[in-house]
């Protein structure tokens, strides 16, 4: 999704649940006015980890082991009411992660890559996945998949899109886009930083969960061609040994109110409509 019209169309989707974003210990509670960008990244990162953990701790259904897709009703789902306290030590190190996470986000924001040109972003993601300690990193169709193996359990795929939009940023932010005609105005820079933050939390706190985490970074979301490019490059075959039981995705939005995270099972934000 990208344009304001498409965003508006997406807002007509009904959310199943919404809850305040989780926060690092000691941070202020989020409100529409006080929530900071770091808190948003932290909140999404923690919620991402919570979603993954919730999925990982659920028993694998027999059907998922036989190649049949997990049904929406039978698949474990994210629990948005999980708090940092309930997450326990899986959030150990979040303060340290927040520091590089924000810098990573700002770097992507300064250097946006349009669809089909995500080489720099993919390289940055790959380097961070190596630093995090991903067990395997695959380059597929212009995208990147980092795999963190941690014994038996659910295989959970978490997807972030990487591409920017062909617009010129005029926000005046100190980390504004350095390139006229290119800007991260759809939040994909936040998505990448959030997914990497969740990966880092899970990689360093393996004693708190079991299963497999697949962090998938997709090119070309705005055109719909990036997902196809990954499929055409053998995504399904290359992940056959770690076929996900659950797939999760994320998107920043103007709804619900700032500082909240909403979840919905099934397809969401999967199409864009325009009204004139
Ligand atoms: Zn988007």
Residue 51: pLDDT over 70: no
Alpha-helical segments (H) within the chain: 4-11, 37-57, 84-87, 94-110, 119-132, 188-204, 225-232, 235-238
Cα(251) to centroid(ligand 1), Å: 7
Cα(190) to centroid(ligand 1), Å: 10
Least confident of 41-55, 157-171, 180-194: 41-55
Label residue 15 by pLDDT band (50, 70, 90): low
Q: Which of 248, 77, 262, 219 is nearest to 158 (CA)?
A: 248
CA distance 36 to 250: 19
Least confident of 11-25, 143-157, 223-237: 11-25
From first CA to last CA, the distance across the chain in angstroms is 17
The string of pLDDT tens digits covering residues 231-276 is 999 999 999 999 999 888 888 887 777 777 777 788 777 766 677 7
CA distance 200 to 41: 13
Q: How far is CA 46 from CA 81, 82, 168, 261, in A?
A: 12, 9, 31, 11
Token digits for 196?
């990497």
Cα(159) to centroid(ligand 1), Å: 12
Q: What is the mean pLDDT of residues 190-210?
A: 91
Label residue 106 by pLDDT band (50, 70, 90): very high
Task: Yes or no: say if 132 and 196 are a contact pair by the CB < 8 Å rule.
Answer: yes
Cα(238) to centroid(ligand 1), Å: 26
Label residue 65 by pLDDT band (50, 70, 90): very low
Residue 204: pLDDT over 70: yes
Cα(206) to centroid(ligand 1), Å: 31
Neighbours of ion ligand 1 (CB under 5 A): 1, 186
Pairing of strands 143-150, 17-20: unpaired
Q: What is the mean pLDDT of residues 44-63?
A: 52
Label residue 83 by pLDDT band (50, 70, 90): low
Cα(223) to centroid(ligand 1), Å: 10
Domain annotation for the chain: domains and CATH numbers: 4-263 (3.40.630.10)
Task: Yes or no: say if 147 and 134 are a contact pair by the CB < 8 Å rule.
Answer: yes
Cα(214) to centroid(ligand 1), Å: 20
Cα(221) to centroid(ligand 1), Å: 7
CB atoms within 10 A of CB 255: 15
Contact residues for 171 (Cβ-Cβ < 8 A; gap 6+):
none
Task: Yes or no: say if 230 and 37 are a contact pair by the CB < 8 Å rule.
Answer: no
Label residue 64 by pLDDT band (50, 70, 90): very low
pLDDT attached to residue 76: 36
């Amino acid at each position: 999704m990208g344009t304001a019209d498409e965003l508006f169309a997406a807002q007509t989707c009904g959310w199943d649940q919404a809850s305040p974003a989780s926060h690092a210990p000691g941070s202020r509670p989020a409100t529409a006015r006080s929530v900071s960008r770091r808190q948003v990244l932290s909140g999404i990162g923690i919620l991402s980890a919570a979603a993954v953990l919730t999925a990982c701790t659920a028993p694998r259904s027999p059907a998922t082991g036989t190649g049949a897709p997990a049904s929406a009703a039978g698949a474990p789902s994210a629990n948005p009411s999980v708090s940092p306290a309930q997450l326990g030590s899986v959030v150990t190190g979040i303060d340290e992660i927040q520091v590089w996470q924000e810098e990573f986000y700002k770097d992507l924001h300064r250097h946006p890559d349009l669809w089909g040109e995500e080489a720099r972003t993919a390289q940055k993601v790959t380097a961070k996945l190596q630093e995090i300690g991903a067990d395997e990193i695959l380059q597929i169709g212009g995208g990147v998949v980092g795999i963190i193996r941690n014994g038996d359990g659910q295989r959970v795929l978490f997807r972030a899109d990487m591409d920017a939009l062909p617009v010129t940023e005029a926000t005046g932010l100190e980390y504004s886009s350095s390139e006229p005609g290119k800007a991260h105005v759809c939040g994909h820079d936040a998505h990448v930083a959030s997914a990497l933050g969740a990966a880092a939390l899970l990689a360093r706190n393996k004693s708190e969960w079991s299963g497999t985490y697949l962090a998938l970074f997709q090119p070309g979301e705005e055109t719909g061609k990036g997902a196809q490019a990954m499929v055409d490059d053998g995504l399904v075959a290359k992940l056959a040994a770690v076929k996900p039981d659950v797939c999760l995705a994320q998107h920043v939005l103007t709804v619900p109110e700032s500082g909240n995270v909403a979840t919905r099972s099934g397809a969401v934000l999967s199409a864009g409509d325009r009204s004139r």
